[in-house]
Amino acid sequence: MFLIDTHAHLFLEQFDDDRDQTVQNAIDNGVKKIFLPDIDSSTTALVLEMAKKYPDICFPMIGLHPTSVKENFKDELKHVEYMLEKEKYYGIGETGIDLYWDKTFLKEQIEVFRFQINLAKKTALPLIIHARESFDEIFSIIDELNDDTLKGIFHSFTGNKAQARKILSYKGFKIGIGGIVTFKNSKLPEVVKEIGLEHLVLETDSPYLAPTPKRGKRNESAYLLFIAEKIAEIYNVDLQTVANITTKNAEVLFGL
Ligand code: NI
């Protein structure tokens, strides 16, 4: 079994006591590659440290998360550009728009998102999009800036069928499915069924959004297996098929 966790923040302090064990648990459960999306300049060094400690397992990304967009956003974007020159990265992210937590910096969030879309185009790296109560805003920006080079993931997707179809109309994008698909009463399985396995990548978003039966606990990459099992059930295929297709999707997208 070979699964890829396309989105995990294992560099955060929630893993300070057992980071090595967390990586080992992932490997023991078939999760052999893990992509680390940055949050802002305060986490960049932690992302790189982890990627350097576990080469060929942990892959670093760089970006400014929408909930970290504040007055200093221009300095933060300069930092992202500077790091891209200096280090090898596998994606731009995470970025996007979040209107759930705070709308104060909406104008700035939009500017930052546009900037990072252009960075993704310039570097030919995948863009990791965080969309929280913001599909309309995000779609109107991508409608404007999309081209043949832009590619990426709508991470932790929880949208409806129309929103999924809209994402797939942008040819370069995959849909990232995480623990929410396993939750009781989740409407996501119905949507996932329509999307098709060829458009999916898997993610945990650790330490957040742990899947059933670990719901409410700290999430970790090993739990990707619960998500993969749920996806297999939704499509009525075996686990190996889910692993093969979603791993291939992630490898192609990230250029491994
Ligand atoms: Ni995240």
State residue 101's pLDDT score. 81
Assigned token pair, 231: 């996806």
Q: What value does the mean pLDDT take over residues 86-91? A: 98
Ligand 1 center from residue 203 Cα (angstroms): 10
Cα separation, 236 vs 232, whole angstroms: 6
pTM of the model: 0.98
Give the distance, in angstroms, between the CA of residue 146 and the centroid of all CA atoms in the same chain: 19
Sign of the four-CA dihedral 125, 130, 131, 137: negative
Distance 88 CA to ligand 1 centre (A): 20
| Burial (CB count within 10 angstroms: exposed 0-12, middle 13-18, buried 19+), residue 106 | middle
**Ligand 1: centre distance to CA 37 (Å):** 6
The proportion of the chain whose per-residue pLDDT surpasses 90, expressed as a percent, equals 98
**Confidence class for position 194, pLDDT limits 50, 70, 90:** very high
Q: Are 200 and 230 in contact (CB under 8 A)?
A: no
pLDDT per residue over 147-157, tens digit each?
Answer: 999 999 999 99
pLDDT at 253: 98
pLDDT, average across residues 135-142: 97
pLDDT recorded at residue 150: 98
pLDDT band at 212 (very low <50, low <70, confident <90, very high): very high
pLDDT-derived band of residue 40, with 50, 70 and 90 as boundaries?
very high
Query: Six-digit token pair at 187?
Result: 């409407």
What's the mean pLDDT when you consider all of the chain? 97
Residue 158 Cα to ligand 1 midpoint, Å, equals: 14
pLDDT at 248 over 90: yes
Query: Residue 244 is inside which H or E element, if any?
Result: helix 239-254
pLDDT of residue 102: 86
- Kindly give the distance from the C-alpha atom of residue 178 to the centroid of ligand 1, in angstroms, as a whole number: 11
Question: How many angstroms separate the alpha carbon of residue 108 from the centre of ligand 1?
Answer: 19
């409410």: which residue's tokens? 216
* Per-residue pLDDT band at 222 (split at 50, 70, 90): very high
pLDDT interval class at 239 (50, 70, 90):
very high
Distance from C-alpha of 235 to C-alpha of 194, rounded to nearest angstrom: 10
Distance 6 CA to ligand 1 centre (A): 10
- Provide the 3-class DSSP secondary structure of residue 73: helix
CA of 94 to the centre of ligand 1 (A): 7
pLDDT tens column, 102-129: 899 999 999 999 999 999 999 999 999 9
Domains defined along the chain, listed by start = 3-254 (3.20.20.140)
pLDDT score recorded for residue 69: 97
DSSP β-bridge partners for residue 92: 62, 127
State yes or no: pLDDT of 143 exceeds 90.
Answer: yes
